[in-house]
Amino acid sequence: MSIQLTDNVSPAARRDILDLEQKISSFRSGDIPDEAFRKFRLTRGVYGQRQPGVQMIRIKLPHGRITADQLIRIADLSDKYATGNLHATTRQDIQLHFVKLADSPQLWADLEDAGITLKEACGNTVRNVTGSARAGVDPTEPFDITPYAYAVFDYFLRNPICQDMGRKFKISLSSSEADSAYGYMHDVGLVPRIRDGKRGFKVMLGGGLGAQPFPAQTATEFLEEDQVIPFIEGVIRVFDRYGERVKRHKARMKYLLNDIGLDELLRRVDEERPALRVQSFQIPTNGENDVPATLPTFLSTLTDRSAVENTAKYQAWYKTNVFEQKQAGWYAVQLRVLLGDMHADTARALAQIVKQYAADDIRVTVNQGYLLRFVRPDNLPAVFQALDALGLAEPGFDTTADITTCPGTDTCNLAISSSYGITRALEQMMHDEFPDLVFNDDIKIKISGCMNGCGQHSVANIGYHGSSLKNGAYVLPALQVLLGGGFNGKGEGLIGDKVIKIPTKRGPDSLRLLLRDYEANGFDGEYYSDYYARQGKNYFYQLLKPLADLKTLVDTDYIDWDHTEQYVTEVGVGECASVLIDLVATTLTEAGEKLGWAREAFSESRWADALYHAYNVFITGAKAGLMSRDISTNTQHGIVSDFDKTFAGEVDFHKAEGDFKTLVFSLNKQEPSELFARQFIAQAEGFLQAIQAYRETQVIQEGAPHLQELSQAHDS
């Protein structure tokens, strides 16, 4: 069935969607190897699930911002193509699960019709740009970062410098010094500041989670607003050129920064300055503090407001889920959503509440909830009633009782144990035994199904990630306990310590011990991470050590949460069998595609883009040449250097060592122009023709190439 595309779908998105449809067809017919197709579909938001034959679709929502009609569209599409569930993520995306691969192009087309994209939601690209959900209404913000988040998102979407990096790249913008968007764990984290009457940002670089979490380093305390996008472009160019590309576990920017140091990284960023698409990028911010002109004028018809306002639940909800905006007389309402999951029917009903009572500007929050803006104070009781009927008025938004979690083994290939099950158990235990924790917003609890950190456990005051333990011949599900992350009393962002690993069924016991210990021994007003630092890691190890005693195991310890069968560790099922391919030929085909993109960008007068595509022709062609001689490299810079040495003196390429390197790296020695782009593309085309001819001669002389097997690798 052909894809139905409306006039609302942009030409760029239209081409992407049709390309996805064509690639799916080629993949099914065996014309595209699995690993190449996997790489392609990930950058289109299509991610393989733990269950074979179905996909998770990640919907990319810049800054988590969405309208009521867009929420309805996503809900309708979840009913049509998925399970009727909308899962909000810690990166302010919404995910749909159990989607058939064949349905993904039309699903994407229907999203684009509503102004929503999947492009670069996964894969080795610039992921969704996140930001403080309170931005624009935050009483403590120096200015609204919303237009800046959108500008960063737009600038790097489909930008050639970040289409095929060694690894993903994450950017966040916080609304104030509180850093509520966790800039300190991002590749680039921005915090707004005003200096001498000028707007700018504190810039942090090289943060990251995963098995080896790194806190970001401060690149500058103040960068003027018009320099933010040029600076980020320079950082991405450096990461693309020098970042690891073979050892996946070392391929994030945090490792590059750790290897070369901040001063050297910034020097290389400065070297890229001449080649940038723009030298200054001014972001329009008119009217950002204004009350929206399109707010509903509806006033609640609730006859007895006081009867609602005097209930204990309303009082708790008002205290924890509502705050007055910086626009005097207007209120924001925050929705606590268990596991980040919302049924499509609930989402549609929520959209109607927004249309009736709030601004058409819903924000998905980094703790998997939602935020509604510009609610009149007189309408708050009616909003509470409407939300309560949907189960969306539970008090305790972003408090200790509001746990952040990833889907874990419910859908993820990489998860080791259940995240959802332990989250439910911990929240129920706190509800029953520590009811006042709905008023505590100092302790944050976060859970991931594995060490990779989608639930952001490393930046929690109390964090857990899924694991396993061996007891003789048996394996049981486990939790790694991490403590001391998050923010301390000075507002500093910290990475948690791994303290101890315990059977997962003892998770509630561990949290109970930690909370009671803090109640008994913490100083008044002492932040939990400061308390952890004061007591020390060994104190907490000894506190929890009895729970790690495997001699006291019972039968239920061998069964994971939400399961009835005995636990076994599982590797996610591959999506198809391995295939045999000629890797050199495949790489040369890829270089040819990049040459086509360079020509197209040139025809549209996009000189900087054309140059970067041509640069990638050199990189990909040189990689193919090195592969033909069984020489492996791990960075783009290494590819150029090794090709320069290996092929020096071969007339078809360059006469002397250093010539090729000089040619390729001339990319950042001058400003992008029509003349330079025309010349550089012509040189890239000539180089590719020479490599292709060399390969043809090599095959004639040495015989047909050995076909190599590519098998399915995990998505991430």
Residue 261 domain-assigned? yes
CA distances from 285 to 133, 141, 236, 278 (A): 17, 15, 25, 19
Residue 532 domain-assigned? yes
Q: Token pair 């990049």 is at which residue?
A: 594
Summarize the confidence of residues 542-565 as an average pLDDT: 95
Asked whether residue 408 falls in the same domain as residue 546, the answer is yes
Phi-psi region of 197 (alpha: psi -120 to 50; beta: other; left: phi over 0): left
Residue 125 domain-assigned? no
Summarize the confidence of residues 590-608 as an average pLDDT: 96
Asked whether residue 262 falls in the same domain as residue 312, the answer is no
**Nearest CA among 471, 488, 469 for reference residue 480:** 469
Res. 575: pLDDT tops 60: no
Asked whether residue 66 falls in the same domain as residue 160, the answer is no
Q: For residues 83 and 97, is the Cβ–Cβ distance under 8 A?
A: yes
Q: Determine the pLDDT at residue 337.
A: 97
Asked whether residue 408 falls in the same domain as residue 553, the answer is yes
The shares of helix, strand and coil residues in the chain, as percent rounded to the nearest 5, are 45, 15, 40
Summarize the confidence of residues 451-470 as an average pLDDT: 93
Cβ neighbours of residue 220 closer than 8 Å, sequence gap 6 or more: 202, 203
Asked whether residue 330 falls in the same domain as residue 444, the answer is no
Give me the percent of the chain exceeding a pLDDT of 70: 96
DSSP 301: -
Q: Determine the pLDDT at residue 711.
A: 41
Asked whether residue 200 falls in the same domain as residue 270, the answer is yes
Q: List residues bridging with 322 in a β-sheet.
A: 333
Residue type, 689: Q
* Angstrom distance (rounded) from CA 201 to CA 145: 10
Residue 124 domain-assigned? no
Res. 705: pLDDT tops 70: no
Residue 5 domain-assigned? no
Local confidence band at 701 (pLDDT 50, 70, 90 cut-offs) = confident
Number of Cβ within a 10 Å radius of residue 310: 10
Choose the final residue of a domain: 220, 255, 275: 275
Res. 712: pLDDT tops 60: no
pLDDT tens digits, 172-200: 999 999 999 999 999 999 999 999 999 99
**Nearest CA among 178, 188, 189, 172 for reference residue 141:** 178
Q: Determine the pLDDT at residue 433.
A: 97
Asked whether residue 452 falls in the same domain as residue 381, the answer is no
Asked whether residue 140 falls in the same domain as residue 32, the answer is no
Summarize the confidence of residues 22-32 as an average pLDDT: 90
Give me the percent of the chain exceeding a pLDDT of 90: 81
* Angstrom distance (rounded) from CA 680 to CA 617: 10
Local confidence band at 570 (pLDDT 50, 70, 90 cut-offs) = low
Number of Cβ within a 10 Å radius of residue 503: 26
Residue 462 domain-assigned? yes
Local confidence band at 710 (pLDDT 50, 70, 90 cut-offs) = very low
Structure tokens at 94: 């919404």
Res. 251: pLDDT tops 80: yes
Q: Determine the pLDDT at residue 72.
A: 98
Higher pLDDT, 36 or 102: 102
* Angstrom distance (rounded) from CA 550 to CA 228: 53
Res. 248: pLDDT tops 90: no
Local confidence band at 579 (pLDDT 50, 70, 90 cut-offs) = very low
Q: Determine the pLDDT at residue 706.
A: 56
Residue type, 118: L
Res. 574: pLDDT tops 70: no
Domain assignment of residue 598, given as a range: 579-710
Res. 572: pLDDT tops 60: no
Query: What is the three-class DSSP state of 347?
Result: helix
Asked whether residue 530 falls in the same domain as residue 598, the answer is no
Residue 313 domain-assigned? yes
Structure tokens at 426: 């911990």
Q: For residues 493 and 182, is the Cβ–Cβ distance under 8 A?
A: yes
CATH of the domain at 676: 1.20.120.330
Q: Which value, to the nearest 10 degrees, does the dihedral of the CA atoms of residues 670, 672, 675, 677 take?
A: 110
Asked whether residue 552 falls in the same domain as residue 435, the answer is yes
Summarize the confidence of residues 507-512 as an average pLDDT: 98
The mean of the pLDDT values for the chain is 92
CATH of the domain at 337: 3.90.480.20
Comparing 50-54, 95-99, 480-484, the range with the smallest average pLDDT is 50-54
Asked whether residue 411 falls in the same domain as residue 385, the answer is no
The number of domains in the chain is 5
Strands 493-494 and 708-710, by their bridges, are unpaired
Summarize the confidence of residues 410-435 as an average pLDDT: 92
* Host H or E run for residue 534: helix 528-535
**Nearest CA among 642, 606, 609 for reference residue 624:** 642
Q: Token pair 């690894």 is at which residue?
A: 167
Choose the final residue of a domain: 84, 112, 140: 112
Q: Determine the pLDDT at residue 704.
A: 65
* Angstrom distance (rounded) from CA 373 to CA 138: 11
Res. 578: pLDDT tops 50: no
pLDDT tens digits, 281-309: 999 887 667 788 888 888 888 878 889 99
Choose the final residue of a domain: 112, 141, 157: 112
Residue 399 domain-assigned? no
Residue type, 32: I
CATH of the domain at 516: 3.30.413.10
Res. 38: pLDDT tops 90: no
Asked whether residue 331 falls in the same domain as residue 463, the answer is no
Comparing 240-244, 302-306, 394-398, the range with the smallest average pLDDT is 302-306
Q: Determine the pLDDT at residue 709.
A: 47
